Structure 1
Amino acid sequence: MLRRLGISKGDVVAVALPNCPEYPIVFFGALALGAKVTTINISYTAEEIARQLADSGAHVLVGEPFLTPTLDAALNLYRKPTHFVTNGPSFTHTAINLWQVFEDPSIPFVDPVILTGEEPAVLPYSSGTTGPPKGVLTSHNGFSSHVPTTMHPYFTLEEGEDQDVYMCILPFFHIYGMGPIMTCGLHVGAKLLVSAKFDPKAFVRDISEHKVTVLHLVPTLLNFLLNSPAATPKALRRLRNVLCGAAPVPETAVAALKDRIGPSLLFQIGFGMTEVAVASKVPVNDERMGTIGQLLPNVTAKVVDTDTGALLPPLANGEICIKTPSMMAGYHNNPSATAETIDEEGWLHTGDVGHYDLDGFFKIVDRTKELIKVKGLQVSPSELENTILQHPDVADVGVVGVPHDRMGEAPRAYIVPKKSIKEQDIHRFLEPRLAPHKRLAGGVVFVSELPKSATGKLLRRELKKLT
């Protein structure tokens, strides 16, 4: 289909689909042609989609029928000749129906083009939590290099099982869903249980009924699992491997899930970002909770002083910098942003503050731009969040710094309570647990939910708008 539309090596195919069986067909079909794939967050507005189409230079847009009004509006704003393909019958007469293409026996499978591997392959856009979304340009070699090292461990399948079952609840447009789940799942021959969106009524039921063995989560989904009455040991009995990332994972939550399922559960925390794919993971035989594990093969890292850039020794906190074969080539059409992220020696500056221990296990304590300066002292929002989450009546929390006359900045907590609690209860709870400069001098605000990205990452920038 893409070849008949004139798509060839170097062209850009934009995909605006929820998780669905057709997603990998379009995705890998485009890569086989040597085209670049830019994946679009389907929650974007028409203006946001149009900006990504324009920045990437898209030639084809593949979208879901229910998104047609938004995608039509985006194409009108884009104002460049673009083929529009919908995953089923469309609301417009001009769109091509992907189902009809699949059912047409006269349309042959594509013959893959010969590539060196250095050609651009995927062009996802960063979340924008530290600025406007930027196209992350990754080569074929870069995208494929992390697949073998991020596969789940090889388990001995139980009697009657012939393959592992992955639940695909995290969006394929994001690097977490695109790489470790969709691509690695297909690579190892797993069965992929695809969910178009999170359904709280179906989530645990699907895990149980479809005998899911490998479950990729973000902390918000882990929290839901722990608080769902349906998530009984019987319902989760087939789970052998749970992997969690995209945001800090409380150790108490890991312990609670292991208590529910059993000690044989392998719980792994990993670290990655759109710009480097997956860089580290907790190894199979050494589950050190509270860390992001050890570096994957062929990945190197260093920790540098956030002010001077000087190399730091083990256990000293600084910015984590990474080199990896899966690293992006740069930000598309944005050399200045690329230069700010990748230095002259080829190190990618993650913006994450952390350290490594003598065994090579890394731990992230915060983001360089999210540290709160209280009377000149650095306070880690994630440290406060992990402490507050230990309160039995707190379901979720986000901490940001707010202006303060005496302190410069003061921490403020936005708390999602499990039941009615008072601000004084939180202050009393923290008093014996935190140093004075870390306490919530900025106050406590109770909210019904926290602003988060599609992958569960807390959007502190949105929280700050509430201050």
Structure 2
Amino acid sequence: MHRKQSANAIQGVASTASSSDYEKTDAAYERADCTTVRRSYAEATLENKLTMNLARSRIWTALAQDCRLARRPVRPQARRQLSSSVEPNIIKSPFHDVTLPTCTVPELIWEQLDRWADKTAVECGINGKSYTYAELKLLSRRLAFALLKSGLHPGDVVTIVMPNIPEYLVAMLGTMEAGMVVTGINPIYASDEILFQLKDSGSKMVIVHPDQLANLLQAKEKLGSPIRVICVHDYDDRHRSLPSGVVAFSDFIGGESGGDDADLGRLLGVRQDVDSTALLPYSSGTTGLPKGVCLSHKNLTANVSQASHPDINPIEFATKNYQDTVPAILPLFHIYGAAIVMLRSLVRGAKLVTLPKFDPKPFLKILETNHNIVLYAVPPIILFLSSHPTVSSLHLERLKLTMTGGAPCSGADIEKLRSRKPHPIIQGYGMTESSPLLTQGSLDSMKHASIGKIVSNTEAKVVDITTGDSLPMNENGELCFRGPQIMKCYHNRPEATAETVDADGWLHTGDVGYFDEEGDFFVVDRIKELIKVKGFQVAPAELEGLLREHPEVSDAAVTALPCSRSGEVPIAFVIPKSTAAESLQEATLQQFVAAKVAPYKQISKIVFVESIPKSATGKILRRQLKEIAQKKYC
């Protein structure tokens, strides 16, 4: 049936909204020869222009292109809109709303403990040390009791300076159990960087790994205010003496004398405010000084529930004979590692396998020796799995699903991995300020370049960078989101908060992107990273994706180089593949890209390098690249 005939069939029964008309309308949909129509309920109305509405997870695009439809009656519980009737071009999630928890983060995690109490909650990928779920809860409660007993109070900030080890989970959950606030510091930070976060957060206690102890103590000397230090010993160095004033973690929580779970449960039974801050992660600082992001229990539990929506959740509930494995290779001090990798996994009873840092050999061993693997990754890991010579089919065969986030990943890189191991590979998108998940691809998505659809209970819009007006589909603008996962505020920075979250609750991401006819979102670049060439905007990510398509390129990063004639021009930093290190020429790559882009997007200069500076989640640190380029060529 032609699309217009399909539309006429639907319009013929769409004039009223009685219950009998639902069946007639549904029958008309079944007669329509259009898969997207058959797979969803939707409606479209005509005001000044076509506004499309989405039910569940599909838009009947074919109809919208050719027809202007009268309103179709839609059952209220099934109705999901692609655009709001109140304000044009506001996009609503295609997924039905989930019931949001009204409990704290630890309460959500322990809620179904009886189902998997004896299963492994976390295992160290280096030495094999592990805790069951029951042990994790007991140790967390012992820490909570010890924190309260030490004189700290609910609302106080406890800092964690550790790599990914099993005790990180104990430290994080125990602090939250006591009603206190967790802030994590990158374990590779120098003393001055540690000092900044200790001061800014107002931390009262630090739980630290021995490898970071020296830098921490240097920072403590400069702090000027008292702060307690608890050190988590490695299993091989428990007899190593600690500096004066530093307490061993095992001694602090009381060892075997720390009380049983029932006793501690009674001591910690006071109900907490779910609106209180639970986590204080710091933004990356790639566009300025890091800022503490106040995330409440409600923010985090809402986002875990959104991420656990059945249409997008890759982790199955653990059973007596089944458990998913999640490699915890992304840093737990980062929101991606803390909320998506850790919390999302624990509420489903999965097994986390930690690595202190990304190391190919133990990482591949985790993939080789575990089953039902759900891998949360960043683009460099996707690139590693798709192209590194040490990765074999044996390492990939147990991958159940791979999700990439933290930074945009090119469709070409995803397709390379899919060609080696056919399995679902999806992109997610979020920010520290959104707890973090905002969009995620569905499990059957084949749009590899897309960051997916909006998660449940969430709205989005794309606004003009200059005017702030909301834009229709397929037009680039700033991505904005509103939902229960949006942060409370920046810590002690009301002006920065107002600049990021407006009076109507919209989080302004600073990312440039668009949405298409099916409600899938795409990120083009960062607003502050766009290169302005003679007034035209050039997205570095677009050029980077093209460069990576060249068979002799391993990785690439693009930034702006000041130019007196054009304002700015693109300059690329390229890592050649080892086989092409001597033969790859600048002109070859320039011509390769020039054949695929408009003249103003052509790359003016290519610098061959051995490494590209990136953050812990794989974001290219363009500010550093820009400084290098300006020193060398300006």
| TM-score, normalization by structure 1 | 0.96
The Cα shift of 1:431 comes to 2.2
Partner of 2:599: 436
Partner of residue 169, structure 1: 329
Contact 2:317–2:350 (8 Å) recurs in 1: no
Quote the Cα distance in structure 1 between the aligned partners of 2:407 and 2:302: 23
After TM superposition, give the deviation of residue 232 of structure 1 in Å.
Answer: 1.7
Query: Which structure features the higher share of helix residues?
Result: 2
Q: 1:422 to 1:128 in 2, by over 3 A?
A: same
Alpha carbons 1:101, 1:107 under 8 Å: kept: no
- Aligned 8 A contact 2:318 2:348 in 1: no
1:189-268 to 2 correspondence within 5 Å? 189-211=349-371, 213-262=373-422, 265-268=423-426
Q: Which has the larger radius of gyration?
A: 2
Give, in whole Å, the separation in 2 of the partners of 1:249 and 1:350.
18
User: What is the distance in 2 between the residues matched to 1:171 and 1:286?
Assistant: 27
Please report the RMSD computed on the Cα atoms of aligned residues, expressed in angstroms: 1.7
Q: 1:342 aligns with which of 487, 494, 501?
A: 501
2:288 paired with 1:127: no
1:64 to 209, 214, 218: 209
Deviation at 1:144, TM superposition (A): 1.3
Q: Identify the residue that residue 270 of structure 1 maps to in structure 2.
A: 428
Among 104, 113, 123, the alignment partner of 2:255 is 104
Question: What letter matches 2:438 in structure 1?
Answer: A
Q: Is the 8 A contact 2:355 2:363 kept in 1?
A: no
Q: 1:402 to 1:207 in 2, by over 3 A?
A: same
Secondary structure class of the residue paired with 1:118: coil
**Distance in 2 between residues matched to 1:287 and 1:167, nearest whole Å:** 24
Give the aligned partner of residue 270 of structure 2: 113
What is the aligned-residue identity percentage? 39
Conserved? CA contact 2:325–2:353, under 8 Å: yes
C-alpha displacement at 1:237, in angstroms?
1.0
Q: Is the CA contact 2:230–2:252 (under 8 Å) kept in the aligned structure 1? A: no
Aligned residues of 1:124 and 1:136 also touching (Cα < 8 A): yes
Query: Which residue identity does 1:390 align to in structure 2?
Result: E
Q: CA deviation at 1:234?
A: 2.2
1:425 pairs with one of 588, 596, 602: 588
1:324-335 to 2 correspondences below 5 Å: 324-335=483-494
Deviation at 1:94, TM superposition (A): 1.6
**Higher mean C-alpha displacement, 349-358 vs 425-434:** 425-434
How many pairs were matched up? 463
User: Where does residue 551 of structure 2 map in the other structure?
Assistant: 392
Aligned residue identity for 2:181: K
| Alignment-mate amino acid for residue 184 of structure 2 | T
Shift of 1:57: 0.6
Q: CA deviation at 1:75?
A: 0.9
CA offset at residue 143 of structure 1? 1.4
Counterpart of 1:458 (choices 615, 620, 633) is: 620
Give the whole-Å Cα distance in 2 for the aligned partners of 1:416 and 1:103: 51
CA distance in 1, matches of 2:201, 2:212: 20
Counterpart of 2:393, as a letter, is P
Structure 2 distance, partners of 1:5, 1:39, is 20
Offset of residue 287 of structure 1 = 3.1
Among 328, 338, 355, which residue is 1:178 paired with?
Answer: 338
1:240 is paired with a residue of what secondary structure? strand
Between the aligned partners of 1:204 and 1:370, the Cα distance in structure 2 is 34
Q: What is the distance in 2 between the residues matched to 1:284 and 1:206?
A: 23
Residue matched to 2:178: 33
Q: Distance in 2 between matches of 1:431 and 1:188?
A: 48
Structure 1 residue aligned with 2:3: none
- Secondary structure (helix, strand or coil) at the match of 2:546 reads helix
Note if 1:49 corresponds to 2:194.
yes
1:45-92: per-residue Cα shift (whole Å, max 9, x none)? 111111111111101100001111101011111121111000014641
Describe the SS at the equivalent of 2:294.
Answer: strand
Please name the residue that 1:448 is paired with.
Answer: 610
Residue 112 of structure 1, CA deviation: 4.6
| Alignment equivalent of 2:221, drawn from 61, 71, 76 | 76
Whether 1:137 aligns to 2:298 is: no
Write out per-residue CA displacement over residues 382-402 of structure 1, whole angstroms, 9 at most, x where no aligned residue.
011111111011111110011
Distance of aligned partners of 1:115 and 1:103 in 2 relative to their CA distance in 1, 3 Å threshold: closer
Partners of 2:222 and 2:517 in 1: how far apart? Answer: 54
**Aligned-pair distance for 1:336?**
1.2
Please report how far the alpha carbon of residue 286 of structure 1 lies from its aligned counterpart in structure 2 after TM superposition: 2.7
Alpha-carbon separation, structure 2, partners of 1:286 and 1:135: 34
Structure 1 50/269 Cα, relative in aligned 2: closer, same or farther at 3 Å? same
Contact 2:314 2:374 in 1 (8 A): no
Q: Distance in 1 between matches of 2:336 and 2:419?
A: 26
Quote how far apart the aligned CAs of 1:4 are.
2.0
Superposed CA offset, 1:296-343 (max 9, x none): 001111110000101111111000111121111111011111111111
Task: Say if 2:479 and 2:510, in contact at 8 Å, map to a contact too.
Answer: yes
Describe the superposition over 1:135-192 as per-residue Cα deviations: whole angstroms up to 9, x where unpaired: 001111011111122243255999x962000000000000000001011111110011
Give the alignment of 1:285-296 within 5 angstroms. Answer: 285-296=444-455
CA–CA separation in structure 2 for the residues paired with 1:294 and 1:137: 25
Q: CA offset at residue 285 of structure 1? A: 2.7
TM-score under structure 2 length normalisation: 0.71
2:304 corresponding residue in structure 1: 147
The corresponding residue for 2:160 is: 15
Which amino acid in 2 is paired with 1:59? K
Paired AA for residue 540 in structure 2: P
One-letter code aligned to 2:188:
S
Unaligned runs of 5+ in 1: none
Amino acid at match of 2:187: I
Distance, in Å, in 2 between the alignment partners of 1:411 and 1:113 is 57
Check whether the contact 1:68–1:91 (CA below 8 A) recurs between aligned residues.
no
- Tell me if structure 2 keeps the 8 A contact 1:5–1:83: no
Residue 286 to residue 222, structure 1, CA distance change in 2 (3 Å): closer
Looking at structure 2, the residues matched to 52 and 212 of structure 1 have their Cα atoms a distance apart, in angstroms, of 38
Answer whether contact 1:218 1:246 (CA < 8 A) is retained: yes
Q: Distance in 1 between matches of 2:160 and 2:365?
A: 29
Structure 2: tracts of 5 or more residues without a match = 1-145, 630-634
SS, match of residue 473 in structure 2:
coil
Q: 1:466 to 1:292 in 2, by over 3 A?
A: same
